[in-house]
Amino acid sequence: MRASVTGGLTALLLTLGLLTMTAGSVAAAPGSRQASRDVSFTFWNSGPDLTTLVNDFNKKFAGRFHIAYRNMPYANETEIVNSALAAHRAPVLVEESLTPSATYADEGVELPIAPILRMAGVNPRVDFPASMWKNTTVHGVHYVAPVDALPTVLFYNKSLFRKAGLDPNKPPANAAQFVADAQKITNSKKGIWGYVQEPGWPNPFLFPSLLAQFGGREANAATRKIMLDSPAGVKALTFEWDTIFKWHVSPVNASNGEAHNLFVKGTNAMEITGAYDFSLYKKALGSDLGMAPVPVIGAREADFLGQNYWWLFKSPAVTPSVKKAVAAWFKYFYSHGMTLAQEGTIPVWESTLRSPAFERIDGMPVIYKMVQTGVLNPLIPNWGTTTTTYLYNEISLVLEGKVSPKQGLYVAGRKMQQVMATLPS
């Protein structure tokens, strides 16, 4: 299920569960295997299918190390892992999105990952983007390491820019330019929109991006204090509201998927969303597709990073020999960053991200820039569940014109703070 170089980001849909994958994909070394000589460990992931890379690793290290690999569907990743833990059949190495790891770290069932990285010759402060390493500790300890990245970007239609008398090679870089461009393009009578702001998706990418730009945070992971209804949060959500009700560059009550569908159709000029849509938009618009960093709507550059991380579960199976095997896999995986990039996965290895070969892949220079300015969700147990249930429900009500931005964020924050009080300390 890998994508081509020019269509490379299709595989990234898998990262957020936007496409369904089949569970139970297992990679094994081709040919006969001398199990008695192999140090074997189990590895489950829910991101892009790594079967080919795992098979290559198993072949190269035949007789020394072996990975028993399974690719899980993103939608059920936590349920599958929790069931395995309860049955004492958890994998040695697992990769999921970031925030589920906080629960396991709090429960004391993860191993610190820094010693394994050292064995692999990885210096995380140099080899990983700072945006993907800092703020990933639980109680001051690093239990996770990044696997791939999925930044937020601006997609725009160059043809609609030209028709409005705008320079198609100068996408908006700030709020004033964004609004002005959107207003010049919008012709609601003809169904042409400068921008489409949905009440729902892609707010899990957009709102955290704008919040960070205005200097705000979703929550303080150390104190578990919800910080959504700060002045920064209100400014971020007010900007979204204004695109609909003040500047009228977006239709009212856009339906789920309308921003995406109209962009593909050629009647929506701009969309701020995850980079996962790149290959679909490139196919639809061809040379008319523009891609740029998220405009600086607030005070600084920032964008939300979708991502995958991996960690090791504590188990008697994690012997010193198994740790060496995992370290060998880490070294192999990170050293194949260019292969991953060509197949559609955005790597997190700095030497790959800075390489001329990476820069030549369509869209990647913009993606690299946004990885550097990216922000992550706070490492709080069950964070994804609480945000989905409360924050984005309230944001939908705000963007449907039912409550004010300040009121919506206040209600969401109050409900989420109640949930924080129920989590283990």
SS3 string, the chain, reads: CCCCCCCHHHHHHHHHCCCCCCCCECCCCCCCCCCCCCEEEEEEECCCCCHHHHHHHHHHCCCCEEEEEEECCHHHHHHHHHHHHHCCCCCCEEEECCCHHHHHHHCCCEECCHHHHHHCCCCHHHHCCHHHHCCCEECCEECCEEEEEEEEEEEEEHHHHHHCCCCCCCCCCEHHHHHHHHHHHCEHHHCEECCCCCCCCCHHHHHHHHHHHCCCCCEECCCCEECCCCHHHHHHHHHHHHHHHCCCCCCCCCCCCHHHHHHHHCCECEEEEEHHHHHHHHHHHHHHEEEECCCECCCCCCEEEEEEEEEEECCCCCCHHHHHHHHHHHHHHHHCHHHHHHCCCCCCCHHHHCCHHHHCCCCHHHHHHHHHCEECCCCCCCHHHHHHHHHHHHHHHHHCCCCCHHHHHHHHHHHHHHHHCCCCC
pLDDT, residue 8, reads 39
Of these ranges, 14-28, 100-114, 158-172, the one predicted with the greatest mean pLDDT is 158-172
421 vs 197: CA distance, rounded Å: 33
Spatial neighbors of 30 by CB under 8 A, at least 6 apart, are: 55, 59
Tokens of 246: 């003040």
CA 168 to chain centre: 28
Range with top average pLDDT, 80-84, 179-183, 380-384: 179-183
pLDDT, mean over the chain: 90
Q: How many CA atoms lie within 13 A of 43 on its CB side?
A: 30
CATH topology of domain 8-149+307-375: D-Maltodextrin-Binding Protein; domain 2 (3.40.190)
Nearest to 112 by CA among 77, 127, 289, 104: 104
Task: List the structure tokens of 266.
Answer: 């050629």
Cα–Cα distance for residue pair 46/171, rounded to 1 Å: 34
Q: What is the pLDDT of residues 316-372, one digit of tens each?
A: 999 999 999 999 999 999 999 999 888 878 999 999 999 999 999 998 899 999 999
Answer yes or no: same fold for 8-149+307-375 and 151-304+380-420: yes
| pTM for the whole structure | 0.88
Calculate mean pLDDT across residues 267-272.
98
Amino acid, res. 256: N
Which of the four pLDDT bands, split at 50, 70 and 90, describes residue 425?
low
Choices 3.40.190.10, 3.30.460.10, 3.40.50.1380, 3.40.50.2300: CATH for 151-304+380-420: 3.40.190.10
Euclidean distance between CA atoms 300 and 286, whole angstroms: 31
pLDDT at 256 over 90: yes
Cα separation, 316 vs 145, in Å, equals 22
The share of the chain scoring above pLDDT 90, in percent, equals 80
User: Token pair of 242, please?
Assistant: 């204004």
**Is it the case that residue 288 has pLDDT exceeding 90?**
yes
Residue ranges covered by each domain of the chain: 8-149+307-375, 151-304+380-420
Residue 16 has a pLDDT of: 35
